[in-house]
Amino acid sequence: MRIPLFGLLLLAPLAAAASDNCKHSSPRTLALDLAGVKTVRVETQEHDVRLRAAPGASHALQGRACASQPEWLADLTLTQERQGDTLVVRARREREGGLSNLFGNNYARLELSGTVPDHLPVQLVVGSGDGLLEGAASASADVGSGDAGLRGIRGAVTAKVGSGDIEVDGAGSLKVLSIGSGDVSARNIGGKVEVGSIGSGDFELDGAHGDVKIGSIGSGDADLRNVSGAVRVDSIGSGDLDVRGAGSLSVGSVGSGDVRHRDVRGAIDLPRKR
């Protein structure tokens, strides 16, 4: 049974307190320079970052660098730079080649938390680490092999995932550009939901107050529940579509995959399998 990402993120501090695998540490603090900024972009790479949107003019990230070797601490950096009207915050490990032997009991990582302005859009870019964002005006998540959680986003959410996982709990609308072999699960979406393509991964949705449109499903699966509007899927390959509760349902084409549905209130338009 997969434990939801939010559960893992909430349990993480407790686990850390019980078994603090941080032999050598040093503090990290970064006061955000937000003058004239219209977007905040946070790049986490393989590190862990927890963000909460909050009112006020002063915001910062803080936490610690952890490493199994003391000389590696200096390579763990937290920086910011302006790119136009976007503030780019980077948690990174310098001299990647010099730390190529991070395996077994060797480690070098950043553990960070902080606040961002609650009136600005936030872009979260996650490599192989974990990222959590709560309460932002709008948000995007671009995830490689790591995990990202977006919770209580008041406006639009845009997401893209490779082999990692994204969980969205509460958003004004949701647009998923693509899902590779990873998973996207979403619930409590206030408006429409759009998904460009699903490769071999999975898309799960529970609760959308609008239409749901999926471009293509390859060998992966889409599980849709409690959709108030219409569900439209352009094409399905060898994957499966399961719809439980929708205003209507239409599918353009189906290969060897399956379409299952129940509690669809309106029209149902399904093609014959190719």
Mean pLDDT of 94-111: 72
- The pLDDT value recorded for residue 13 is 47
* pLDDT tens digits, 72-97: 999 999 999 999 999 999 999 997 65
pLDDT interval class at 20 (50, 70, 90): confident
pLDDT interval class at 4 (50, 70, 90): low
Ramachandran quadrant class, 135 (left: phi over 0; alpha: psi -120 to 50; beta: rest): left
The answer to whether residue 16 scores a pLDDT higher than 70 is no
**CA–CA dist 196, 201 (Å, integer):** 13
Strand 130-134 with 60-67, pairing: unpaired
- The pLDDT value recorded for residue 154 is 98
Please give the model's pTM, rounded to 2 decimal places. Answer: 0.91
- The pLDDT value recorded for residue 95 is 76
- The H or E element that residue 178 is part of is strand 173-179
Look up residue 15 and give its two tokens.
């686990």
Mean pLDDT of 99-115: 81
The answer to whether residue 234 scores a pLDDT higher than 80 is yes
Mean pLDDT of 152-171: 99
- The H or E element that residue 10 is part of is helix 5-18
The answer to whether residue 60 scores a pLDDT higher than 50 is yes
Map residue 234 onto helix, strand or coil.
strand
Look up residue 171 and give its two tokens.
């958003």
Beta strands, E only, 94-155: 108-117, 121-126, 130-134, 138-143, 147-151
Query: Residues near 251 by Cβ (< 8 Å), separated by ≥ 6?
Result: 232, 233, 234, 236, 241, 259, 269, 270, 271
Percent of the chain with pLDDT over 70: 89
- The pLDDT value recorded for residue 1 is 36
